Structure 1
Amino acid sequence: MPSPQDSLFDPVQAPMPRHRLFFALVPSEAVRVRISDVAAALRTQRALTGRWVRPARYHLTLAFLGDHVSLGDTLLASARSAGEAAAARAAPFVWTADRVDSFRGRQPPCVLRGESDVRALAELWSDLRRELARRALDAHVDRSFVPHVTLAYAERALPAPVMLEGSVEWPVDALELLHGEAGHRDYRTLGHWRLGR
């Protein structure tokens, strides 16, 4: 039987969370290329240095569901049910991004931003949040919403927003449940729902 001293010097460590789960909007290939061009222009102009997000990972987060040691069937079923319900009541819309800005942080995220008052986007976020709350899955969901796409984690924040010469027009017609796993480079889609269907 281990002594109390053994437990002090050889603690049993809990498993580390490996699975990140969140709802997001995912751009089409054409929109992904346009966003990638915006990021490439920033790099060329040396307006920003830091760790750049790969285009395959571009997304606009709507609701973060936390980091988990494992993904149980109950969690996934509840999340999928919430996503399906919110998407069914939503209508397709266009989100327009017209600037690059920085958020605060040790490695300030450099983000693509635009219209935050798109009614259909705000309603989708609000409805999804309600559906998650009904299923007790809203513990990590922010109480406010600033739509953005992260382009890089920078060495320093931009001194001021950079306005784009041409805006990014993003037609949105689907909601996705994404899964990120530690050690894997890409996100995996665990749910995909067309808006209004």
Structure 2
Amino acid sequence: MADQLFLDGMGAPPTGSDRLFFAVLPDDYAAGQADRFRQRFCGERKLTGTQVRTEHLHVTLHHLGDHAGVPQDMVAKAGAVAAALRVAPFEVEFESVMSFVRGGQNKPALVLTGDIGLAALVAFQRALAVAMIKGGLGQWVEKSFTPHMTLVYDPQVIQKQSIRPISWAVRELVLIHSFLGQGRHVALGRWPLYGNTSMRPREGELMP
């Protein structure tokens, strides 16, 4: 991973008022850790940009588009896809911080990211992609995925550096409705993870 990552399409101008996406969320303890790290890091680096609200911290897996209103047929399909997954809970570990340059916008995103500690998350995102294709949502599958959790948008570019790891057990998949421009997120559905399919990477297996 480069010290400064450019994400094609990230931050593209919205085409509607209502954004839908699949995500995993940190538990309360991990969200608190991330927030404490953010406040300390922003203070040290004098970052004064827009912070993501602690209760909105998330890792996006697949976007389901921007819409004028919430398309209920898509919500129903997404619910069926999520309910059909049979994946056991798994651990994620973010051990780096860096800036992502957002396509079409001036402010980079300061994000938590990582490597081997996120291999299981990459595998889960791919499993969800397969389920989306089978469930009629293939057009929304993210063809590339760099797992990250955005903390703040700030013009200062931070090179990749290691941090004390922030980790949690992913136990559910969430469908989020974001009210664009309003700073509101609503969970339209939550599906607990259970099953025999493990997302744990094999020994020596690295995240691509």
Q: TM-score, normalised by structure 1?
A: 0.83
CA separation in 2, counterparts of 1:194 and 1:22? Answer: 17
CA separation in 2, counterparts of 1:39 and 1:141? Answer: 30
The answer for the alignment partner of 1:34 in structure 2 is 33
The answer for the alignment partner of 2:109 in structure 1 is 109
1:189 aligns with 2:200: no
Query: C-alpha displacement at 1:36, in angstroms?
Result: 0.2
Question: Relative to structure 1, is the Cα distance of residues 51 and 118 closer, same or farther in structure 2, using a 3 angstrom cutoff?
Answer: closer
The answer for the alignment partner of 1:163 in structure 2 is 162
Gaps of 5+ in 1: 1-15
The answer for the alignment partner of 2:63 in structure 1 is 64
Q: Which amino acid letter does the alignment assign opposite residue 170 of structure 2?
A: V
Which digits, 9 at most, give the CA deviation of each residue in 1:14-59, with x for residues without a partner? xx61110000001111111000011011121025342211111100
Q: 5 Å matches for 1:119-138? A: 119-138=119-138
CA separation in 1, counterparts of 2:125 and 2:67? Answer: 22
Query: C-alpha displacement at 1:76, in angstroms?
Result: 0.9
State how many pairs are aligned.
Answer: 178
CA separation in 2, counterparts of 1:138 and 1:117? Answer: 27
Which digits, 9 at most, give the CA deviation of each residue in 1:161-190, with x for residues without a partner? 1321x2111111111001011353231111
CA separation in 2, counterparts of 1:26 and 1:193? Answer: 12
1:141 aligns with 2:141: yes
The answer for the alignment partner of 2:206 in structure 1 is none
The answer for the alignment partner of 2:174 in structure 1 is 176
CA separation in 2, counterparts of 1:99 and 1:117? Answer: 10
Decide whether the 8 Å contact of 1:90 with 1:120 is kept in 2.
no
Gaps of 5+ in 2: 1-14, 196-208
Q: Which amino acid letter does the alignment assign opposite residue 180 of structure 1?
A: S
CA separation in 1, counterparts of 2:169 and 2:97? Answer: 19
CA separation in 1, counterparts of 2:138 and 2:111? Answer: 24
Question: Relative to structure 1, is the Cα distance of residues 67 and 190 closer, same or farther in structure 2, using a 3 angstrom cutoff?
Answer: same
Question: Relative to structure 1, is the Cα distance of residues 123 and 146 closer, same or farther in structure 2, using a 3 angstrom cutoff?
Answer: same
SS where residue 45 of structure 2 aligns?
A: coil
Q: Bigger radius of gyration, 1 or 2?
A: 1
Query: C-alpha displacement at 1:124, in angstroms?
Result: 1.6
The answer for the alignment partner of 1:95 in structure 2 is 92
CA separation in 1, counterparts of 2:98 and 2:137? Answer: 30
Q: Which amino acid letter does the alignment assign opposite residue 93 of structure 2?
A: T
Q: TM-score, normalised by structure 2?
A: 0.79
Of 180-189 and 76-85, deviating more is 180-189
Question: Relative to structure 1, is the Cα distance of residues 140 and 27 closer, same or farther in structure 2, using a 3 angstrom cutoff?
Answer: same
1:73 aligns with 2:67: no
CA separation in 1, counterparts of 2:94 and 2:119? Answer: 15
